[in-house]
Amino acid sequence: MQVFRKLLLPFSLLYSIIIMLRNFFYDKGILNSTRYNFPVICVGNLSVGGTGKTPMTEFLISFLKDKYKLAVLSRGYKRKSKGFILADDHTTAEEIGDEPFQYFNKFKNIHVAVDANRHNGIYELKKLVNPDIIILDDAFQHRKVVAGFNILLTVYNDLYVDDFILPAGNLRDNIRQAKRADVIIVTKCPADFNEEGRKRILNKIKPKAHQKIFFSSIAYSDIISGSQGDIKIEKIKGEHFNLVTGIAKPAPLVNYLKQKGLDFTHYSYPDHHNFSVQEIEKLKKMKLIITTEKDYVRIANSIENMYYLGIKPEFLFNEEENFKKVISSFLNRY
């Protein structure tokens, strides 16, 4: 832990007490939670940002969208609107946030909505479109609603069991709340991750008897995509480009591109960064830009020379089918 963050430990203690009391009130029924008689799947984490919620949510969408009437509900972080919004053909990323807009833009025949009040968002979705399944994007800490199935994500080299409560650490909830997860997925494992590493993490996390634990890595596309078409990533070898990221943890992407032997300059912005007019003008002058899909959907309309590199989670130890069976088993209860 950095020296400065150690100085914040007293504030973390205070925040931890507040969080513990809040969870105690929910556990004892002093504060009310709502359960649902239809499938609600939550994808979340205990820390702030960068655990891979977006690609995991997309994995679930891809798996379920052809079998069920599917809706995704998100808070819509940093959107320039309030209340409940159901995305339609006129919706913009500014209205619903970059990740929900990415889901809506990428997948057809699903419904995407945003609402900071998850209970109200679920109510509105059922009233307006009556989906078979609702996926809650980033709602693990929202105790007002009780998802039927909770997926908790944690990064292999930044496990929640090794972290501290904000502001000294990155946890926004107590690690004991991991007990509410049905599945724990250790994300962003390196290419050389092996059985020894798996056992080491299992010994650290110590999953409960009811919990399944899976391990995944990031699988990058071998093409970059943009409004002008697709380009094999090998085709840009030897050509300098600019990497522009507005995500919490760009290091895996940077390392991947370096391993490919590519020549680039990295411009790193904060997670969910709202690009100013001046920044957009600066980007327009660059010959070639590669970015993340999340950043692309927000600013590509303003910049022609921009492409994104797609990613998806890849389950390790041949356990993708086992993960799907766990999800299917939950859905078969309804």
Positions at the binding site for ATP: 47-54
Closest CA to 104 of 64, 138, 61: 61
Contact in structure between 294 and 245 (CB atoms under 8 Å)? no
- Paired with 184 in beta bridges are 152, 213
What's the rounded Cα separation, in Å, for the pair 301 and 303? 6
Binding-site residues from annotation: 47-54
How many residues does the structure list for the chain?
334
Q: Which residues contact 304 (CB under 8 A, 6 or more apart)?
A: 227, 228
- Paired with 215 in beta bridges are 186
Closest CA to 114 of 71, 81, 73: 73
DSSP per-residue string spanning 197-257: HHHHHHHHH---TT-EEEEEEEEEEEEEEETTEEEEGGGGTTS-EEEEE-SS--HHHHHHH
